[in-house]
Structure 1
Amino acid sequence: MKGTTMLKAILHTRPARQLDTIFTSVDLQRLGNTVEVIWGKDEQMPEEAWTEAKKEASIFIGIPSYGVGDVEENAAPHLKAIMEVGGAHPRKESVDYQTCFRRSIRVLSCAPAFAKMVAEMALGHALAALRNIVDADRRMRRGEENWGWRGQADICTLYDATVGIIGYGNLARELRLLLAPFKCELHAYDPWLPDTHLQQQGIHPMGLEELLQTCDVTFVLAIPTQENRELLTYEKLEQIKPGAVLVLASRSHLVEFDALLELTNAGRFRATIDVYPEEPPPPDHPVRETENTILTCHMAGGIDPAFFDIGRMVADDVEAIVAGLPPIRMQVAQPELVARR
């Protein structure tokens, strides 16, 4: 950058990520060509050094375990953006959001990097449950399979199914694209979005209880908030259409988990679960013996293509910020939503 001073960025991906797990050599070089990198090591920066570096840096890439700290003008006079690389907007105790909003400092999350992978896994879970793939595999290995139409009696299809989505955000938007070939009738419950917005996406807005009573497959995709803890209580879960499939893909926070296990064990409906109240669940946790469920170990989003997309998003948005443009790849924290997290 001839004739100009490069902006400085603190590159501090620990403890959330290792550099080589989110940045390809190409994207790391792009970053180095765009800003003067401070730190850039796979270890945590001493807090005193972080405090000093903040006085020079315009961009923070990653957040140390002790948090961002003071972002007032005297502590971080050049700050334009804070980019988290873990997968969700930082907790309020890690970042002074009010000061960031007052100073027009963007707080950015890499969460969209995981959306495609989680949507793909959610679709796989739904298909596995509807077509009894996991149970068929187990029966085949035990020599207990049923050949011919007798073995297909309880199998369903996703084609033309009535599908419900709880929480229409990043994950749901990617899932909608994957569901298109199946010609499903799509419904969604999301109290944060106006009905007209959903309708423009080809989604029918629906109340929660009606959605549970109506849909053949329901995907739980909402982010956890103060308002939706155990949104799906025992009473709500009882409303699920008999024989339907519940795909728990975002966070167990949204479900009364013991009730979910009780009702699936009773054969009221089927469920696929990738997220748990405690991870990993203890070896003797009842979930490991629950009937009518497909279990995976929080593996939906965390695979290499998603991780490397984080690095691409960071490099893209750093280039935009340096060029005086708004970042468009990462998700910008909104004051109204941060207050509800």
Structure 2
Amino acid sequence: MTGFADGARPGGPGRAVVVVALRPELREQLFTADAWQRLSRLADPVLVERPDDRSALADALTGADILVTGWGTARLDAELLAAAPRLELLAHTGGAVSPYATRAVFDRGVRVTQAGGAMARPVAEVALAFTLALLHRIHRFDHALRGGVPWAEAGRMPERHQILGCPIGVIGASRTGRAYIGLVRALGAEVTVADPCLGAADAAALGVRVAGLDEVLAASRITAVHAPALAETRHLLGARELALLPDGAGLVNTARSWLVDEDALLAELRSGRIDAALDVYDAEPLPTEHPLRALPNVLLTPHQAAATVEGRHALGDSTVAEIERHLGGRELLHEVGRDALARVE
């Protein structure tokens, strides 16, 4: 379905047209009433409620100046772009733009912005929750008690630790990685980061030490993965790297399963040597018969780390703010270039 938000045909004198290609339920989750009013004051919204319908999207794009994309929006390839002669801006309501933009978008000079920074805090909070759960073996206690293990036996778990003074390793000083660093350091953790792009000045500002990947893995009680999913980071943590984790250590992954060899991780987890807390998987939805579901030393969530009410609203607010900057001729705060297409989703 395609429609005009206020029932009137858009594109009045001096008014930009913004095509919002989002499923209705997602649009409602992202845009508060206040954010939608702000957007409607800035431009005339056109709604595409089946954003994967290329024909409906092409019809809407005919008069569009701005396109708002989100999960499920059809990729803006050369064919769709040809239907959008006026398009100036693609404003993505999530992080990685590679599933929605193509080289043709950048070749045409269409600007691209994204709202991924708004996801950093909720994902970092989940990574913190995972960290605390692994340190205190909460997932193991829960599994034992729900599984009918006798009380005394359920209490005999591996050693537990507090986060104060805990050696924590962070792989990737991304926006989410930095948000996580701030949270765990506030609770007294001692953080070491593996990131070839993190310079001495930034490390000092974050209050962390920089080391190579092998050292971070070998010296950390908890290792949290926050690296980008690029071609060169595919299975950054394989069997060799996972074997470096100390006995009793925990691995937190709220980033992408792309970064960890899932088969190698499963082998380590089956041995009981380490624990893990995961929000991302090679197969999503995670099959009901997947062996990860049965392991007592694994904490699982269904790829929902960023999906807080406040986080979704922050994505919508960020998108509207970028549209406002674009229409006002001001610098975009979250613009990305064609190099963003290298990020794997």
TM-score, length-scaled by structure 2: 0.85
The residue type paired with residue 33 of structure 2 is S
Shift in Å at residue 215 of structure 1? 0.9
- After superposition, residues 1-341 of structure 1 pair within 5 angstroms as 5-14=14-23, 18-37=26-45, 39-44=46-51, 47=54, 50-51=57-58, 53-62=60-69, 65-70=73-78, 76-91=84-99, 94-97=100-103, 99-100=105-106, 103=109, 105-140=110-145, 142=148, 144-146=150-152, 154-328=159-333, 331-339=334-342, 341=344
Q: What letter corresponds to residue 101 of structure 2 in structure 1?
A: V
AA aligned to 1:334 is G
Of residues 235-244 and 170-179 in structure 1, the stretch that sits farther from structure 2 once superposed is 170-179
Q: After TM superposition, give the deviation of residue 50 of structure 1 in Å.
A: 4.1
- Aligned-residue Cα RMSD (Å) equals 2.9
Counterpart position of 2:7 = none
8 A Cα contact 1:252 1:277, kept in partner: yes
**Distance in 2 separating the partners of 1:202 and 1:31:** 39
- Structure 2 distance, partners of 1:220, 1:27, is 33
**Partners in 2 of 1:101 and 1:160 — Cα distance?**
50
Distance 1:251 1:42 in 2: 28
TM-score, with structure 1 as normaliser = 0.86
One-letter amino acid of the counterpart of residue 230, structure 2 = T
- CA–CA separation in structure 2 for the residues paired with 1:126 and 1:53: 45
> Structure 1 residues 95, 41: closer, same or farther in 2, change over 3 A?
closer
Contact 1:80 1:106 in 2 (8 A): yes
| Residues in 2 aligned to 1:316 and 1:209: alpha-carbon distance in whole angstroms | 41
Against the structure 1 CA distance between its residues 164 and 68, is the aligned structure 2 distance closer, same or farther, given a 3 Å change threshold? same
In the TM superposition, residue 173 of structure 1 has moved relative to its aligned partner by 1.6
Q: Does structure 1 retain, via aligned residues, the 8 Å contact 2:31–2:313?
A: yes
**Distance of aligned partners of 1:294 and 1:65 in 2 relative to their CA distance in 1, 3 Å threshold:** closer
Q: 1:213 to 1:276 in 2, by over 3 A?
A: same
Aligned equivalents of 1:49, 1:277: Cα separation in 2: 32
1:234-275 Cα shifts (integer Å, max 9, x gaps) = 011000122111111111111111111111221222111111
Quick one: distance in 2 between partners of 1:234 and 1:10?
A: 46
- Return the alpha-carbon distance in structure 1 between the equivalents of residues 144 and 74 of structure 2: 51
Give the C-alpha shift of residue 5 in structure 1: 0.8
- Residue type of the alignment partner of 2:21: H
Asked if the contact 1:161/1:184 (under 8 Å) is kept, the reply is: yes
Q: Give, in whole Å, the separation in 1 of the partners of 2:95 and 2:81.
A: 27
| CA-CA distance at 1:131 after TM superposition | 0.9
Structure 1 position 84, deviation (Å): 1.6
Partners of 1:102 and 1:200 lie apart in 2 by 39
Instruction: Give the secondary-structure state (helix, strand or coil) at the position aligned to 1:272.
Output: strand
**Counterpart secondary structure, 2:229:** coil
Structure 1 residues 90, 152: closer, same or farther in 2, change over 3 A? closer
Alpha-carbon offset, residue 290 of structure 1? 2.3
**Separation in 2 of the partners of 1:340 and 1:45?**
21
Range with greater deviation from structure 2 (255-264 or 5-14): 5-14
* SS in structure 2 of the partner of residue 164 of structure 1: strand
How far the C-alpha of 1:82 sits from its partner, in A, is 0.5
Q: How far is the alpha carbon of 1:223 from its aligned partner?
A: 2.3
Partner SS for 1:60: strand
How many pairs are equivalent?
330
Q: Which amino acid aligns with 2:37?
A: Q
CA contact (8 A) 1:58 1:80 kept: yes
The 8 Å contact of residues 21 and 69 in structure 2, kept in 1 or not, is answered as: yes
Q: Which runs of 5+ in 2 are unaligned?
A: 1-11
1:48 shift after superposition? 5.1
Which one-letter code corresponds to 1:85 in the other structure?
T
